[in-house]
Amino acid sequence: MKYSSRKDTKKHIWTVRKMMFKIIWELLKRAIRHDKTKLQKSEKAGFDIYTPKLAHCTYGSDEYKQFLQELKPYLNHHYYKNRHHPEHFENGIQDMNLADIIEMLCDWYAATKRHNDGNILTSILLNKDRFKYTAETAEIFRNTIYYFWGKDLPKKPD
């Protein structure tokens, strides 16, 4: 009897689908609960004060860093409760999984929309030093941003 790969290929396809659906389900749950702690009493008061201030300053500037310092008690609680922030982990991004990274990157992109001069590509570059990730990781982040939201950005340099 001649071997047909059809059965093994279909089994492989279903295995991959099940694995991807598990990741998709995790991302859906995260999308639903993203940043809900910012609406709780333990964080809301701080974000009420500093969200408008942060919107009017440049990301990574001395003023931005000062506002983060003043917001620190609220941020510490937020980072503790939300694993999509590198600050949640002892070793930052190196301790994160891909679901954490995806949520983090979406969060970074959305955050740039709240800044008057926000730019996700600049944020990725500045965060490379801040969170100590490699140039390769930065390129993966840029590739992801261009793949999903590239129409909103300048053409990617070759």
Q: What is the DSSP string of 7-36?
A: HHHHHHHHHHHHHHHHHHHHHHHHHHHTTG
Residue 150 pLDDT: 84
Q: Does residue 12 surpass a pLDDT of 80?
A: yes
Cβ atoms < 10 Å from Cβ of 49: 14
129, part of any domain: yes
Quote the CA–CA distance of 121 and 141 in Å, as a whole number.
9
Task: Quickly state the pLDDT bin for 153 (edges 50, 70, 90).
Answer: confident
In tens, the pLDDT along 89-105 reads 999 999 999 999 999 99
Contact 107, 113 (CB under 8 A): no
Where does residue 100 rank: exposed (0-12), middle (13-18), buried (19+ CB within 10 A)? Answer: buried
Quote the CA–CA distance of 80 and 37 in Å, as a whole number.
10
Quote the CA–CA distance of 30 and 99 in Å, as a whole number.
9
Q: Does residue 158 surpass a pLDDT of 70?
A: no
Residue 116 pLDDT: 83
9 & 67 share domain: no
SS (H, E, C) 47-78: HHHHHHHHHCCCCCCHHHHHHHHHHHHHHHHH
Average pLDDT of the segment spanning 6-32 = 98
Q: Does residue 128 surpass a pLDDT of 90?
A: yes
133 & 105 share domain: yes
43 & 20 share domain: no
In tens, the pLDDT along 37-75 reads 999 999 999 999 999 999 899 888 999 999 999 999 999
52, part of any domain: yes
104, part of any domain: yes
Question: Domain range holding 14?
Answer: 1-33
The mean predicted confidence, pLDDT, of the chain is 94
Q: Comparing 117 with 132, which gets the higher pLDDT?
A: 132
70 & 116 share domain: yes
Q: Does residue 4 surpass a pLDDT of 70?
A: yes
Task: Quickly state the pLDDT bin for 13 (edges 50, 70, 90).
Answer: very high
**Overall domain count for the chain:** 2
